[in-house]
Amino acid sequence: VRGADVVALQEVTRNNPRNGGRDMVAEIGEALPDYFAAYGSNFEVNIGSRLENGRAVSTSFQLGNMVLSKTPIHLSRNLLLPRSRS
């Protein structure tokens, strides 16, 4: 990966119960500090809530795409692609 100008990643997760709730977005960012990053969640579901210091806190599982770039990313957004019904 090092040396690439742009890296595109699919199925990057946050709080996935299957991998111990790891934040892959943060981990990838820390592992590759020379890259600018943009992440877009394509799927999000509430996986639980709890009280923390008297406040209600919800945890959600996210799955999405991440782009790493050697140059700054000034704008990013997710676009829903049309789906054909067959």
User: Distance of alpha carbon 9 from its chain centroid, rounded?
Assistant: 9
Distance CA 31, CA 66 (A): 14
Using 50, 70 and 90 to split pLDDT, how confident is the model at 23?
A: very high
Q: For strands 55-69 and 6-14, give the pairing.
A: antiparallel
Q: Who wins on pLDDT, 27 or 17? A: 27
Query: Which phi-psi region, left, alpha or beta, contains residue 11 (left: φ > 0; alpha: ψ -120 to 50)?
Result: left
Distance from CA of residue 55 to its chain's centroid?
25
pTM: 0.80
Strand partners, 43: 63
Q: Which of 24, 9, 6, 5 is nearest to 62 (CA)?
A: 24
